[in-house]
Chains A and B, each alone.
Chain A
Amino acid sequence: MGYVTRRNRTIATAFLLPTVAVLFLTTIYPMLYALYLSFRNYDLAKPFIPRIFVGLANYSEVLTSDTFLHSLLITFKLMAMTLVVQFVLGVAMALLVTQRLPGMAVIRTLLLIPMMISPVIVGLVWLFLYFPELGYLNYFLGMVGIDPIPWITSTQWSLTAIAIADIWQWTPFVMMGTAAALQSLSPEPYEAARIDGNSSVDVFLYVTLPQLRPVLISLLFLRAIDAFKIYDIIYVLTKGGPGDATETIALYIYRQSFTFWRMGVGAAASFVSLIVISVLITLFFKSMQKSAAAR
């Protein structure tokens, strides 16, 4: 039982009360309010028109509209692009920066900086690099013989442009997590594998990677949850355009709610996205419990 007796347990529960009360008022209540809105016809531009109950009309509109399904597709496409590169590059970088060589600690620290920069600032500096006609990125690419690319002005490239900015910011996160995991691995299997004369590729694939698996899975879910929410960088670079080429779910909700003032439809889309993200969050917690149990 420990020292927390029954009387103390009452007080300990009271310690928890502020947290639960605040979270209820600031998170659960707005979510319930969003649920209420999602069943209503609510036009914020016409506040005096009564918010009529429309049943599941908003949901059926969201789930059957091409725009919403398109935004879902864009969201997952962006997620796939960023996660693949972030994990391949991030793990490779982790393998490099964990080598026992002078200067690596400093390099590791420097590489962590992008993560801590506000995503708006990341968006702005990449906008500076992508800027049509003037931006330096096409100039640098020109030096190695690549023709100018219409980064943010063409439907073909704009999603890639956003992905690059996100990859720049969050690859260090994968590197950091993987490097931390690599440094806590026990050295024995390596020595054994090396004595057996295995190549470093084999050692990585059959010794390192299996040991990294639980950590990589946790990192993957964390990145997926974030990738699902990505908003700031898109807002700065393309605002969902050109056309709807970069309109992710977040941008779809934003447009429905604050451009067309259709709060009911925005709320319904919010709820659909809450369901998707709940699945990801649950999977993340499962992976965390699993790796905690494995320790």
Chain B
Amino acid sequence: MPTDLVLANSAWTDATIKFGNSAGAVAGFVGILLVIFFAAGRAGGRFTRPLAITVMLGPAVLLLGIGLVVPLVRTVYLSFYNDDSTRFLGGANFGWALTTSHIQEVLLTTLLWLLIAPLAATGLGLLLALLVDRMRGQAVYKSLIFMPMAVSLVGASIIWKFVYEARDPSQPQVGLLSRVVIALGWEHPPNWILSQPLNTFLLMVVMVWVQTGFAMVVLSAAIKAIPDEITEAARLDGATGIRLFRSVTVPMIRTTIVVVLTTVMITTLKAFDIIRTMTGGNFGTQVLANEMYSQSFEQYNTGRGSALAVILFLAVLPLVAYNIIQLRKERTVR
């Protein structure tokens, strides 16, 4: 017991110091802002507007410049250089990425993720959105299905690692999936996480588990926003069930469906936590986002890592362009 107490004591001291730092930073930040606001608020005359713009917009623009714009330019630059950024290589890093068979596999796996996970999550979310609204206690169902959104992808991976845990069939099973299929009569189920290409799909299940609730909540809001007059009119015209769904509901919420698909796709493309935690990219499960990280930070090849980041960016670009076009359209409508 005494050792416990000592450990606990030092842990509390550690916590006090760290929370102190953190609270100090917040207090300092707010304090500085208050002083600047007070001082700038006193300045009058023709400086008022430029001063307001500088003080209010300045910090955000500066941080965005340092944190996103400069790095963006710099990553593109680095992608043309060798591992320690001393020798210009031209397009060699990109050539390497497109011709190495390992990276080709990674790109293929990433593509599979992009095609399957978002469609599955959005499709299931749409189905649930349609089904759940009329049920009693819908708030409970919605909360429970939406809950994984609050869980980190690392947490989700550990949860699912435990579901997929495989043991020799002669031993008592700890993993739920093995237990269920053995109970169903499959005597020698595979070691889930090690079997290719099954494992990639099992990892996608985790992403779908996390994202379906998001799709459901957003799509359900969109369905509720459809004016009842429209569905009523369609029903008077004789449309029912699936037909009504296909020719009225889906067209009315098409924009939202696309937005949800885009959001899930961008998350899928950038997320690397699931693969990192569950397989570390081994056993043929590697994706672009994780490969980029390991090239840069584990194999210390900045050039190749940057080239993969650029490829990732180019892959997101069409999705972004589409979103901006949509946004501009909306602005002109307003």
Q: Do A and B make up one complex?
A: no
- Give me the interface of B with A, judged by CB distance under 8 Å: none
- Give me the interface of A with B, judged by CB distance under 8 Å: none
